Amino acid sequence: MDLVVFHGTVEELQAFFGLDEVQPQPSPEPTELKLALQEIAALKNEMAELVKRASAVVLAVGDLSILIS
């Protein structure tokens, strides 16, 4: 396998490979961002609820083990 070293500018390299100038990606619409943030908030709330439930289960199991012993 041969190693090819290119000495030149980015523009020359793009021209060499026949690439057009890189176009910036359009930013998401504000409504898309708002929906994504709402979804993230809903997931955070769901996770908090699951943590509460898990804590309640751990406490209940702990209380049960105290009663058994």
Binned at pLDDT 50, 70 and 90, residue 48 comes out as: very high
What domain range includes position 40? 28-69
State which amino acid sits at residue 25: Q
Q: Quick check: is 20 in a domain? A: no
Q: Quick check: is 14 in a domain? A: no
Q: Quick check: is 7 in a domain? A: no
Span 21-47, pLDDT tens digits: 666 777 778 888 899 999 999 999 999
Q: Report how far residue 8's alpha carbon sits from residue 17's, in angstroms, rounded to the nearest whole number.
A: 13
How many domains does the chain divide into? 1
> Mean pLDDT score of the chain, rounded to an integer?
81
Per-residue pLDDT at 67: 61
State the distance between the two ends of the chain, measured CA to CA, in whole angstroms. 73
Q: Quick check: is 40 in a domain? A: yes
Q: Quick check: is 47 in a domain? A: yes
State which amino acid sits at residue 14: Q
Q: Quick check: is 15 in a domain? A: no
User: Which has more confidence, 44 or 11?
Assistant: 44
